[in-house]
């Protein structure tokens, strides 16, 4: 989570929701919804931003990714939070300046942009990058 203060972006919090390896998918999705709902209730975000599903070789993992994204989108909608989606290319371009950047480059730039004391974990950096992308996108729009 980030906050836009004029032309500056301020880090609020970040983390990762990890599923238990032995958990059923249905239980994992319910847990994800509950944990996201708790974060939304505590922080009252104005918007949520996430990456669109992208092409991959492993169809099973893409299906799971789509199911998780559905829960994330539903969590926002269920709490009256607008949800915005960006392609991985848009997110990387907004953060690194290059749409084909590597994960490590995104992590390093997220750290720099948000003035974090250390590089965030990969998944948290991806989420923060989507938030940065959204904040930059809104800069060009009349609110």
What pLDDT, in 10s, does the model give residues 38-91? 999 999 999 999 999 766 778 888 898 899 999 999 999 999 999 999 999 999
Cβ neighbors of 33 (< 8 A, separation 6 or more) are 71, 74, 75
* pLDDT single digits (tens) 101-116: 999 999 999 999 999 9
138 vs 122: which has the higher pLDDT: 122
Percent of the chain having pLDDT more than 70? 95
Q: What are phi and psi of 8, to 5 degrees?
A: -110, 150
| pLDDT value of residue 135 | 95
**CATH class as words, domain 19-80:** alpha beta
pLDDT at 142: 38
DSSP 8-state symbol, 119: P
pLDDT above 60 for 96? yes
So what's the pLDDT on residue 139? 55
Looking at the chain, the whole-number percentage of residues with pLDDT higher than 90 is 77
Reported pTM: 0.90
The average pLDDT across 109-130 equals 96
Q: Where do the structural domains in the chain lie, given as residue ranges? A: 19-80, 87-143
Cα–Cα distance between 9 and 113 in angstroms, integer? Answer: 7
Is there a contact between 53 and 70 (Cβ–Cβ < 8 Å)?
no
pLDDT at 138 over 90: no
């Amino acid at each position: 989570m980030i906050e836009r203060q004029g032309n500056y972006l301020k880090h609020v919090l970040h983390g990762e929701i990890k599923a238990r390896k032995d958990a059923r998918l249905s239980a994992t999705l319910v847990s994800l919804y509950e944990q996201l709902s708790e974060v939304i209730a505590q922080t009252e975000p104005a918007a949520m931003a996430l990456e669109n599903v992208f092409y991959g070789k492993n169809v099973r993992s893409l299906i799971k990714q789509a199911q998780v994204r559905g829960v994330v989108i539903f969590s926002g909608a269920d709490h009256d939070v607008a949800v915005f989606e960006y392609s991985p290319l848009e997110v990387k371009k907004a953060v690194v300046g290059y749409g084909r950047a590597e994960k490590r480059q995104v992590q390093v730039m997220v750290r720099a942009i948000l003035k974090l004391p250390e590089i965030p974990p990969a998944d948290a950096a991806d989420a923060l990058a989507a938030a940065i992308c959204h904040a930059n996108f809104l800069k060009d729009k009349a609110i």
